[in-house]
Each structure stands twice: as structure tokens, then as C-alpha cells.
A = this chain, B = another copy of it.
Amino acid sequence: MITVDAVPYPYQFDRRHTALMVIDMQRDFIEAGGFGSMLGNDVRPLARIVPTVAQLLTLARAQRMWVVHTRESHLPDLSDCPPAKRRRGNPALAIGDAGPMGRILVRGAPGNQILPLLAPLDGELVSRHGSDVVGCAQPSERSARRIAQPIPSVLASDATPRCASMASADRQMIGDATLVIDKPGKGAFHATDLHAQLQARGITHLLFAGVTTEVCVQTSMREANDRGYESLIVEDACASYFRAFHLATLAMLTAQGGIVGWKAPLALLQAAFKKTAGESA
């Protein structure tokens, strides 16, 4: 059991039953020249957390914890995009239109991909919303991922396709896998199979990172809370275009005895793992 010196009180978890949720670290939201910056947002606060999220991923992989990446994305025919979402804000460029990095929020578009530095490794599992199918990444996605700089980890790919052995690995809960959830909403649970995937793996605890704090991270953490997960938001591994919203969200989530969950910076999470390793050595 790992104990983090979190707010509002110590957060305890078993890494075999804990997943790291990396929310929407997508090029269009974070890179200069993407859709987010085209809308006039200052993307630098988001770009600034990338090294922290990378460290968190390295930690999770080294600890053989499950990792879930989410992407806010829609099918090319936009059949999973509510009309209300597409017209909201009367945008000059709407979801599905040609944006600076391909079609905006459409699967397969370059801007819709996870930042290369944080991308899942080649051959890792992909889960699709609206479907129960879990399988290897599709060829087109595999090639998109080849541009990724894999982070050194226990997951370094080998000659054998990893997918072939995943079914049994899942059940052994050895945790050396990554899920990618394509989600049509702000929340990662809505209209996806995330809850079923987590339940199937015995996950009870979630660590949240990603962007933006008050939109997709908060929405997903609130959904997780209603579903009975114990969640901690890694505060310096999340960011918003608006600093005040980031801070207000952290305060709201953890108020009233942790009404939605806990918060802690990465350093305290790392310290907790180190302490446990020391005790068991």
C-alpha cells in the first residue's frame, strides 16, 4: 500500500488496482499553431506540464501500473458529435472543419494525436468508444505513433506483437498495458467503455493528469467519483489556459473532506513510492 501526503488527507492506494489517467494531451490543444492557440489561447501553461506528465508516465510504467490515455475526438462522419457541441460558441471553425493540423477533433487528424513525447508505445492496446472491441492499434495509428519518442520504460517493445499476449496479461493484472480511449465528450466515461475496462482490470483508484484542469480533467474526475473510484489529481501534471480556473478547480475537488477526491504534486507521489520501496527493502 502506498500512502501519499495529499490534500485534504492521506491518500492510500495499491498500485495493482490503480490506473494513471492522462487526459487529452493532444497536439491541437497544446502545440503552438494548433487549434487551441488558433482560438487565441496561450498554450504555454499547457506545454509547461509536459515534462511532469512524462515523469509521471515513467513512474507509472516503472511501477507496472495501468495507464489510460484519452483523446477528445470524433468519428470522421461526426455521427458521435452532438449538433449542440458543434455549433456552440458560433465558431468560425467548427469540429470537423479543416484546422491548422487537419480536421478539428477528428480521429486520425495530426492535431488529434497525443503529443509524441507522451504517446503510447507502438503495439499497445487501443479501446474505442461506442464499441467493446479491444485490440491492437490500427496500422494508420501505428504509423502515427512511430514519430513518438518512446520514454524509457519497462514497456520497451520487442519483436513479438504485444497484443497477442494481452488477453492473459489483463487477467493477471501485471499492469504493463496502456489503453487509449477516444471520447466524444469532455468526460472520459460518457459514451466510452472506460468504466467496463477499469472494472475488468480491478481498478479502484485513479491518478489524474492532463488538460484542461477545469474542463476534461474535472469532468472525468467527477464522473469517476460518482462511479465509486478514489481519485487523486496530480496538481502540477494538469493545466488550464486560465490559471484561476486551474486553482479554483483544485480547491473545489478537494473541499468538504475531499468531496470529489484528493490532490498532490508529483514530488509527493514520488516520495510515497520511495518510502514504500525503502520499507520493503
Contact = CB atoms under 8 A, between A and B. Distances in A.
B91 A223 contact: no
B187 A223 contact: yes
Copies of the polypeptide in the assembly: 2
A228 B230 CA distance: 28
A187 B220 CA distance: 12
Interface stretch (A45-53, A102-110, A243-251): A243-251
A89 interface: yes
Task: Indicate the size class of the contact surface on chain A.
Answer: 35 or more
B191 A226 contact: yes
A142 interface: no
A142 to B, nearest CB: 29
Nearest to A241: B256
Contact of A229 (B84, B191, B218): B84
Contacts of A169: none
Contacts of A222: 186-187, 218-219, 222
Given A223-B187, A248-B252, A257-B91, A85 B228 contact: yes
Nearest to A253: B214
